Homo-oligomer: A and B are copies of this chain.
Amino acid sequence: MASPDDRRQPKYQQIADALKDAIRSGQYGPGDRLPGENDLMATHGVARMTARQALGVLQNEGIAEARKGVGVFVRDFRPLRRQGIKRLSQEQWGSGRSIWSADIEDRTLVVDQVSVTEEESPADIAQVLGVEPGRAVCVRSRRFVLDGKPVLLSTSYLPADLVAGSAITQEDTGPGGTYARLAELGHKPVHFREEIRSRMPSQDEADRLRLSMGTPVMLICRTAFAGEGHAVEVNEMTLDSASYVLEYDFDA
């Protein structure tokens, strides 16, 4: 219905609002196809550009996403649940399970890109690791894919001298992963700090995670400590926010 408010809004915004109302009311559910440009042109008597702008609003707000050549669909939020604390408990990596397996329940998270290099430490990483800027660090970069869709970029930094000669410098770190190897080296992680923020992706991040329009990334910076003030790893993660819920469970 046209309220006095509506008349002050551009036509494409009015159409976008009508579509949002229809989604809120359940007329279009998660995964449903929304009316296309032709439908909107006929229903609302507008030009193609106006119809396209209306659908663009929903995509920019992350409410709908376009599938090329098929149409625009209501977004289906069926996220992975990443349990920050449970997944880093010692039972996980102590018994040779990868720390990532807690994420996936019955869905299969796969590493499809991995690189291990030795580089000069970036200044901010050096500060957290407590090494001099420019000291060598082992850099492990991985991309994780769920059902063929990239969902997570992970770049891990460890002091190069600390991990020299261990499987941490290999693509395959072996059973229990990096943390099991650190324990064998006498630097068992006993404490973790995770810092989380969110922002819009860079073009490169959007490409690597194949993000739809209107999809922010969540950033997790995890620091592993082998003792008071003794950081042994910094892991910078970039997550597709449409694919993840982060969970932290703790006692008062």
Pick from B90, B216, B218, B250: contact of A200, CB below 8 A: B216
Residues of A within 8 A of B (CB): 60-62, 79, 84-85, 88-90, 188-203, 214-218, 241-242, 244-252
| Distance in Å: Cβ of A87 to nearest Cβ of chain B | 11
- Whether B90 pairs with A252 at a CB distance below 8 angstroms is yes
Top 3 A-B residue pairs of the complex, sorted by shortest distance between their CB atoms: A216-B216, A198-B198, A198-B241
How many copies of this chain sit in the oligomeric assembly? 2
Q: How far is the CA of A246 from the CA of B214 in the complex (A)?
A: 22
Nearest B residue to A61, CB-CB: B200
Pick from B193, B200, B245: contact of A248, CB below 8 A: B193
- Whether B193 pairs with A247 at a CB distance below 8 angstroms is yes
| Distance in Å: Cβ of A62 to nearest Cβ of chain B | 4
Known contacts: A216-B241, A247-B194. The answer to whether A252 contacts B89 by CB under 8 A is yes
- Whether B196 pairs with A246 at a CB distance below 8 angstroms is yes
- Chain B contacts of A248 at CB under 8 A? 84-85, 193-194, 196, 248, 250
- Chain B contacts of A61 at CB under 8 A? 200-203
Nearest B residue to A221, CB-CB: B245
- Whether B192 pairs with A218 at a CB distance below 8 angstroms is no
- Whether A200 pairs with B246 at a CB distance below 8 angstroms is no
Show 8 residue pairs from A and B whose CB-CB distance is below 8 angstroms, ordered by the A residue. Answer: A61-B202, A79-B197, A192-B251, A196-B247, A197-B218, A198-B198, A199-B241, A248-B250
Most buried by B among A191, A250, A251: A250
Q: How far is the CA of A217 from the CA of B62 in the complex (A)?
A: 12
- Chain B contacts of A214 at CB under 8 A? 200
- Chain B contacts of A218 at CB under 8 A? 196-198, 218
